[in-house]
């Protein structure tokens, strides 16, 4: 078995673990800081909306020896509008011009053909009206709202309302971070971006549901025992699915990284940039929120329940009693009492991350049960 597989098995069995829930305030602080940065970027720089939303024309030229800066200069001179020019992997140019109607686009196409030394028929022109872009934006918001509503209803039925609320907050967290990155880097927002956003929402939800399912199974009849608090069971659920979450995220990020850095960066494919950036950022944010945000939020909400509060008191009382017995033994053998206040509530929660193996007593227990 590989080291990662061995670690995954030990995490699943509860033999080792990391206290994600106990350090939840750190993760909340990191998420709040990132979210505020994203919101500030949106407020200051805004989104670079593509012509699909603003209206205009996209001209694609065949292979040419003219530089990008020269093509941009010629396009702006012919149209009178700002132009966005991108070199394609085939050697051609993709020129975006906003605010052009059909007649103006035809004149620009003719002027560009003369300036670039190519046939006018070889330049492909796609026109987009602003009303069509507005319809696309409205449908995207409608689809997002319906998706969120159905997600909350499903999770509330399949699990409970606390998990539905935590999953909704995690999804909003992922969308905000992804959109904020678009504002920071200045990438265009196109229908491809919308497709990528909806895709990452499904992936983030899948990763969250995996942890929630483990938590639901682990917390069944939790009030009938006095060994673990709800937060500790939640932490064990995160650890038991941690390697699985890492594996699925890495496997998903590798092809997306290929699309972003090779397809978009080297080959210059514009549509690949639009989809791959939203996927890359969203997948990473979704994996983070499933582990560090969604489940700790559920634990916070659940610990406010009177039954969970009573359970926590019983668990801590049992541990305090066990610690007191150990202190009396230490006092008898070592000649000095230990302070029972050393075992605080926070220490008790942080100390129990996973199961701990009990050491074998001297003699390995041999001879037990024998009758003389």
Inter-axis angle of helices 3-13 and 242-257, to 10 degrees?
140
User: Which CATH number goes with the domain that contains 74?
Assistant: 3.30.70.3400
* Structural domain for 226, as ranges: 3-49+132-307
Mark which of 307, 341, 356 sits at the end of a domain.
307
Same domain, 78 and 190: no
In a domain? residue 331: no
User: Which CATH number goes with the domain that contains 183?
Assistant: 1.20.1640.10
- What is the distance between the alpha carbons of residues 203 and 239, in angstroms, rounded to a whole number? 19
Same domain, 228 and 165: yes
The alpha carbons of the chain give a radius of gyration, in whole angstroms, of: 29
In a domain? residue 146: yes
Average pLDDT, the chain: 77
**What pLDDT does residue 2 have?**
57
**What pLDDT does residue 66 have?**
80
Strands 48-49 vs 188-189: parallel, antiparallel or unpaired: parallel
**What pLDDT does residue 51 have?**
76
- DSSP 3-state assignment of 92? coil
Same domain, 267 and 214: yes
**What pLDDT does residue 167 have?**
92
Mark which of 108, 128, 148 sits at the end of a domain.
128
Q: Mind listing the pLDDT tens digit for each residue in 245-285?
A: 888 888 888 888 877 777 655 545 556 667 788 888 888 88
**What pLDDT does residue 369 have?**
43
Which of 246-260, 321-335, 337-351 has the weakest average pLDDT? 337-351
**What pLDDT does residue 81 have?**
75
CB atoms within 10 A of CB 214: 21
- DSSP 3-state assignment of 200? helix
Can you list the positions of beta strands (E) in 110-263?
124-128, 188-189
Q: Mind listing the pLDDT tens digit for each residue in 45-89?
A: 888 887 777 777 788 888 877 888 888 888 888 777 777 787 776
Same domain, 209 and 232: yes
Same domain, 242 and 94: no
| pTM more than 0.85 | no
- How many angstroms separate the Cα of 118 from the Cα of each of 1, 58, 157, 318? 61, 17, 62, 84
Looking from the CA of 196 toward its CB, the CA atoms found within 13 Å total 27
| Number of domains within the chain | 2
**What pLDDT does residue 4 have?**
55
Q: Report percent pLDDT > 70 for the chain.
A: 77
In a domain? residue 36: yes
As a whole number, mean pLDDT of residues 117-138 equals: 75
């Amino acid at each position: 078995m590989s080291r990662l597989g061995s670690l995954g098995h030990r995490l699943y069995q509860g033999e080792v673990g990391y206290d994600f829930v106990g350090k939840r305030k750190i993760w909340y602080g990191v998420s709040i800081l990132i979210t505020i940065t994203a919101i500030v970027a949106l407020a200051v720089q805004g989104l670079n909306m593509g012509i699909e939303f603003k209206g205009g024309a996209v001209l694609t030229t065949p292979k040419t020896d003219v530089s990008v800066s020269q093509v941009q200069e010629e396009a702006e001179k012919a149209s009178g509008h700002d132009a966005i020019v991108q070199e394609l992997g085939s050697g051609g140019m993709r020129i975006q011009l906003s605010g052009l109607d059909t007649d103006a686009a035809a004149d620009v196409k003719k002027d560009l053909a003369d300036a670039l030394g190519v046939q006018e028929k070889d330049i492909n022109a796609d026109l987009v009206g602003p009303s069509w872009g507005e319809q696309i934006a409205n449908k995207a918001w409608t689809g997002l709202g319906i998706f969120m509503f159905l997600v909350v209803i499903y999770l509330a039925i399949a699990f409970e309302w606390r998990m539905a609320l935590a999953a909704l907050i995690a999804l909003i967290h992922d969308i905000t971070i992804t959109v904020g990155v678009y504002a920071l880097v200045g990438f265009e927002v196109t229908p491809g971006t919308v497709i990528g956003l909806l895709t990452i929402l499904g992936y983030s939800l899948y990763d969250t549901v995996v942890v929630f399912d483990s938590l639901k199974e682990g917390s069944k009849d939790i009030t009938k025992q006095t060994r673990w608090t709800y937060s500790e069971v939640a932490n064990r659920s995160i650890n038991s699915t941690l390697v699985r979450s890492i594996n699925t995220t890495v496997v998903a990020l590798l092809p997306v990284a290929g699309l972003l850095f090779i397809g978009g960066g080297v080959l210059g494919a514009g549509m690949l940039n639009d989809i791959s950036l939203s996927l890359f950022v969203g997948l990473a944010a979704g994996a983070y929120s499933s582990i560090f945000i969604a489940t700790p939020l559920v634990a916070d909400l659940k610990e406010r329940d009177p039954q969970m509060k009573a359970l926590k008191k019983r668990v801590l009382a049992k541990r305090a009693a066990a610690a007191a017995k150990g202190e009396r033994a230490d006092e008898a053998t070592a000649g000095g009492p230990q302070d029972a206040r050393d075992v605080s509530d926070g220490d008790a929660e942080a100390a129990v991350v996973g199961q701990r193996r009990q050491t074998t007593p001297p003699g390995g227990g041999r001879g037990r049960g024998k009758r003389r």
